[in-house]
């Protein structure tokens, strides 16, 4: 889409000036909050089904964000979108992004933001991206996964972890 072509153009300019993606990549996601919508129960039901009410005038359509969604994280509610991003470890410049609804889980877009142009195959991510099958598949494809590990009461982390 448009964001990919913009980032491709920016990355070409960065490479032209010597800022080649190096040292691996750091991946994370964050919320992009948008103003909460004031909708009637009927309008909410229609929007929830990914549609726009027919009787909305063009001006109202422009002012309502029907793609944004609610989600909760650590008992706090968010309304909007989630931005997944990959930054190169050397220059800390964002190289790839993916925007989705706030209700989608971070891990769904790990592969979307992996940058194959990075000179290193190292990938750094927080424990939310931990998934054994995906990690095995990506390791098989040559990626070196450095994902933070989770501890629990029954199985605490070792000193090495």
pLDDT in tens, 115-145: 998 999 999 999 888 888 989 999 999 999 9
> Cβ neighbours of residue 149 under 8 Å, at least 6 residues apart?
127, 130, 157, 161
Spatial separation of the C-alpha atoms in residues 112 and 107, rounded to whole Å: 10
> Cβ neighbours of residue 69 under 8 Å, at least 6 residues apart?
79, 80, 101, 102, 103
Confidence grade of residue 44 (pLDDT, cut at 50, 70, 90): confident
Per-residue pLDDT, 161: 65
Question: Tens digits of per-residue pLDDT, 84-114?
Answer: 999 999 999 999 999 999 999 888 899 999 9
Residue 53, pLDDT > 70, answer no
Spatial separation of the C-alpha atoms in residues 105 and 120, rounded to whole Å: 26
8 A C-beta contact, residue 30 and residue 83? yes
Confidence grade of residue 5 (pLDDT, cut at 50, 70, 90): confident
- Using the CB atoms, write b or e for 123-136: b if 16+ within 10 Å: bbbeebbeeeeebe
Residue 52, pLDDT > 70, answer no
Spatial separation of the C-alpha atoms in residues 4 and 11, rounded to whole Å: 10
User: Pick the residue with more confidence: 8 or 16?
Assistant: 16
Per-residue pLDDT, 50: 63
Residue 57, pLDDT > 90, answer no
**What are the boundaries of each domain within the chain?**
2-147
Highest mean pLDDT among 4-8, 31-35, 44-48, 128-132: 31-35
């Amino acid at each position: 889409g448009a964001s990919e072509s913009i980032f491709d153009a920016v990355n070409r300019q960065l490479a032209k000036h010597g800022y080649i993606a190096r040292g691996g990549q750091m991946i994370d996601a964050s919320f992009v909050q948008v103003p909460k919508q004031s909708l009637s129960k009927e309008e909410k039901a229609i929007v929830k089904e990914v549609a726009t009410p027919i009787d909305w005038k063009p001006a109202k359509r422009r002012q309502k964000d029907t793609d944004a969604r609610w989600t909760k994280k650590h008992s706090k509610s968010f309304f909007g979108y989630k931005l997944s991003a990959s930054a190169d470890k050397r220059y800390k410049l964002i190289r790839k992004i993916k925007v989705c609804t706030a209700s989608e889980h971070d891990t769904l877009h790990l592969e979307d933001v992996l940058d194959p142009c990075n000179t290193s195959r190292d990938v750094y991510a927080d424990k939310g991206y931990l998934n054994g099958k995906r990690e095995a598949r990506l390791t098989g494809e040559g990626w070196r996964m450095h994902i933070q590990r989770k501890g629990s009461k029954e199985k605490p982390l070792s000193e090495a972890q």
